[in-house]
Amino acid sequence: MANSITREVYMRTIEIFDPAMCCTTGVCGTSVDPKLVQTAANVDALNKQGVSVKRYNLSQDLDAFAANDTVKSLLASHGTDILPVTLVDGEVVKERDYPSMEEFQQWAASDTKPASVKRPAFRVIEVKSNGGGCCGDDSSCC
């Protein structure tokens, strides 16, 4: 029988608080900012890989801005020029610019849980072969 090792993997929460835009991604109209196109593509790719990235648009998601004390504080101190703001597990990791795919991947790759962060744990089971057939080292039983 194979040996299994169980470890806990924690899903990181990545949130982007966008400035006011005409649509949820900002990828509309006649003159589209290439950074918005790249960010939308990166977020879509990450979501397809199972990484949860949420975006909030100031003109459409006021509740998300109002509910986040960190973002409210930044807006009170710096105004909307601070946007976009990216948070990972509630901590500010980037301001005034959108993350690159490398940054997203780096933030999503860590599976350790800081003591201050409460988030759900998901069990991952790694199965390691014991080197033999179905009955262990003696493969003659199958």
Give the CATH number for residue 74: 3.40.30.10
Residue 138 belongs to a domain: no
Q: Where in the sequence is the domain holding 83, given as residue range(s)? A: 3-113+120-129
pLDDT level of residue 108 (50, 70, 90 thresholds): confident
What distance in Å separates the CA atoms of residue 43 and residue 25, rounded to the nearest whole number?
A: 10
Nearest to 23 by CA among 32, 15, 14: 32
What's the pTM? 0.69
Q: Would you tell me the crossing angle of helices 34-48 and 101-109 to the nearest 10 degrees?
A: 30
In this prediction, residue 34 carries a pLDDT of 86
pLDDT at 110 over 80: no
**96: CB partners within 8 A, 6+ apart:** 81, 82, 83, 84
Q: How many domains does the chain have?
A: 1
**In Å, how far are 24, 25, 63, 65, 101 from 60, measured between CA atoms?**
7, 11, 9, 10, 25
Q: For the segment 3-36, what is each residue's pLDDT rounded down to a tens digit? A: 555 445 567 889 999 999 876 666 666 677 889 8
Residue 140 belongs to a domain: no
Residue 44 belongs to a domain: yes
